[in-house]
Amino acid sequence: MKAYRLAWVFVLFCLLMFVAGCTAVPTPTMPAEDVNVLTDQETEAGWAGVDPSGQSLTFWHQHRGDRAEALDALVAEFNATNEYGITMEALHQGDYGQIFSKMLTLLGTPDVPSLVIAYQYQAASYQLADGLVDLNSLVNDPVWGLSAEEQADFFPGFYASDVFPTFDGARLGFPPNRSIEVMYYNIDWLAELGYESPPTTPEEFLEMACRAVDEPFSGAVGDESSLGLQWGHSPASLAALTFSFGGDIFDYETGQFTYDDPAAASALEFIRSVYDAGCAGDVIERGGHYAAFGRGKLLFFFSTTSGMPFAASNVDGGAGFNWGIAAPPRRIDEPVTNLYGASISIPRSTPEQELATWIFVKYFTSPEAQAQWARASNYFPVRQSVAAGLDDYFKENPNFETAFSLLPYGKAEPSVPGFEFVRDMVKEAMVTIVDGADAAATLAELNADANAFLTEQLEEQ
Q: Domain holding 265: CATH number?
A: 3.40.190.10
User: Is 1's pLDDT higher than 80?
Assistant: no
311 and 438 assigned to the same domain? yes
Average pLDDT over residues 302-317: 95
100 and 12 assigned to the same domain? yes
Per-residue model confidence (pLDDT) at position 45: 55
191 and 331 assigned to the same domain? yes
| Least confidently predicted of 16-25, 71-80, 242-251, 372-381 | 16-25
Q: What is the pLDDT of residues 373-409, one digit of tens each?
A: 999 998 999 999 998 888 899 999 999 999 999 988 9
36 belongs to a structural domain: no
375 belongs to a structural domain: yes
Per-residue model confidence (pLDDT) at position 393: 92
What is the overall mean pLDDT for the chain?
A: 89
CB 294 within 8 Å of CB 226:
no
| Least confidently predicted of 11-25, 161-175, 187-201, 247-261 | 11-25
135 belongs to a structural domain: yes
41 belongs to a structural domain: no
| Residue 8 pLDDT grade (very low, low, confident, very high; cuts 50, 70, 90) | very low
158 belongs to a structural domain: yes
190 and 89 assigned to the same domain? no
Per-residue model confidence (pLDDT) at position 418: 86
| Least confidently predicted of 133-142, 160-169, 186-195, 425-434 | 160-169
Instruction: Answer with the residue of higher pLDDT: 37 or 286.
Output: 286
Per-residue model confidence (pLDDT) at position 23: 31
User: Is 359's pLDDT higher than 90?
Assistant: yes
CB 146 within 8 Å of CB 19:
no
355 and 216 assigned to the same domain? no
389 and 240 assigned to the same domain? no
191 and 149 assigned to the same domain? no
pTM for this entry: 0.82
Instruction: Give the Cα separation of 407 and 155 in Å (integer).
Output: 11
Sequence letter at residue 112: V
108 and 217 assigned to the same domain? no
203 and 125 assigned to the same domain? no
Per-residue model confidence (pLDDT) at position 461: 54
161 and 190 assigned to the same domain? no
Count: domains in the chain: 2
461 belongs to a structural domain: no
122 and 18 assigned to the same domain? yes
64 and 196 assigned to the same domain? no
Range of the domain at 394: 2-25+54-178+341-411
39 belongs to a structural domain: no
